[in-house]
Amino acid sequence: MSTIAASASIHAMAVVEDGAVVGENVKIGPFCHVGPQVVLGDNVELLAHSVVSGRTKLGKGCRVFPMAVIGGDPQSVHHGGEETSLTVGDNCTFREGVTVNTGTADFGGKTIVGDNNLFLANSHIAHDCRVGNSVIMSNNVMLAGHVTIEDRVILGGGCAVHQFTRVGRQAFVGGLSAVSYDVIPYGMLNGNPGLLSGLNVVGMTRAGVDRATIHTVRRAYKAIFEGSGSIRENAAAIRDEYAECEQVVQILDFIAAESDRALSSPTRGQKG
């Protein structure tokens, strides 16, 4: 049996299947479809022709625009119909045609999206992705399976992120870029193949990072990517020197972490 708050507004031409949970002040427009395992938090709005299916939970204040499909089955040849899930935090906006898939059983069965995210038209989040908070995915951005996007990342229109790739906190990826390797926190990546082109100084400034700290991060960036050793060797060598700079430590921890992908650099993937 469905649990529908008395304050919810459901259009007569919408379908809310038995078992769905609909919170306070939810608005469901005409021709929407809400599946039987869906939970809609308070103040969620589904605009006409949007679909929320699967074992999906949308947090408070989320908005889903026409033709978006949230909670569809994973697009994986290994998916055998197992019950997997999608969890979305509060205040996320899914514009027209956005698709977000549930997880796959072989990798824990969960796709997880954080709070305050904006997903523009026709962007896609595949199975088992982890998306942080305050992320912007521009039109036609594609995340393959198992991608991790950390907080405050901006992905430019039409860029594609390879499966199992990580994009670090507050990185910026330019439009139409091919993200084949991990992108460090605060990094700027552009092109196909995608190459690091420096630091997201504009984003850091907007986030309140002071000029002196930005200069410190720049020095560390140069030491990591222009030093005589490998990226990981260079990063390990400067850890003590930059232990007091939070942003540099985040970059060093990201580099040191285990990953299925190599690290993007100013030269990796460049044709000779």
DSSP character string of 142-168: EE-TT-EE-TT-EE-TT-EE-TT-EE-
What's 201-226 look like in SS3?
HHHHHHCCCCHHHHHHHHHHHHHHHH
In this structure, what are the phi and psi dihedrals at residue 198, rounded to the nearest 5 degrees?
A: 125, -150
- The 3-state DSSP class for residue 102 equals coil
Q: Choose the catalytic residue: 41, 59, 61, 127.
A: 127
Please give the angle made by the CA atoms of 99, 19 and 146, to the nearest 5 degrees: 30
Can 33 be counted among the known catalytic residues? no
Beta carbons within 8 Å of 92's beta carbon, 6+ residues apart: 58, 59, 62, 63, 113, 115, 116, 117, 118, 119
Q: Choose the catalytic residue: 35, 59, 124, 128.
A: 128
- The 3-state DSSP class for residue 184 equals coil
Q: What is the DSSP letter of 186?
A: T
Chain-centroid distance, C-alpha 141: 10
CA separation for the pair 120, 103 (Å, rounded): 21
Q: Choose the catalytic residue: 35, 41, 145, 187.
A: 145
Can 115 be counted among the known catalytic residues? no
In this structure, what are the phi and psi dihedrals at residue 244, rounded to the nearest 5 degrees?
A: -90, -5
- The amino acid that residue 174 corresponds to is G
Can 198 be counted among the known catalytic residues? no
CA R_g for the chain: 20
Residues annotated catalytic, as ranges: 127-128, 145
